[in-house]
Amino acid sequence: MRIATAITGDSSAIAAVLNIPPGRPREAPVTKSLRTRLWPRQCSTRSWQAAYNLACAYAAIAADRTRTLQACKHKAEDAQTAAEAKRIHDLVANVITSLEFAVSNPECEMERPWEWIAHDPDFGCLRSTDDEFSMEFRSFLTTQKKRDYPSRTTGDPLQKGWHVLSNVIHR
Query: 32 pLDDT exceeds 60?
Result: no
For the ranges 14-18, 19-23, 154-158, the maximum mean pLDDT occurs at 14-18
Check residues 47 and 137 and name the one with the higher pLDDT: 137
Burial of 66 from C-beta contacts in 10 A (0-12 / 13-18 / 19+): buried
Number of domains forming the structure of the chain: 1
pLDDT tens-place string over residues 92-121: 999 999 999 999 888 888 888 999 999 999
pLDDT tens-place string over residues 36-94: 455 565 555 568 888 899 999 999 998 888 877 776 666 656 777 788 888 888 889 99
Domain enclosing residue 20, as ranges: 2-170
Q: Which amino acid is at 117?
A: I
pLDDT for position 87: 86
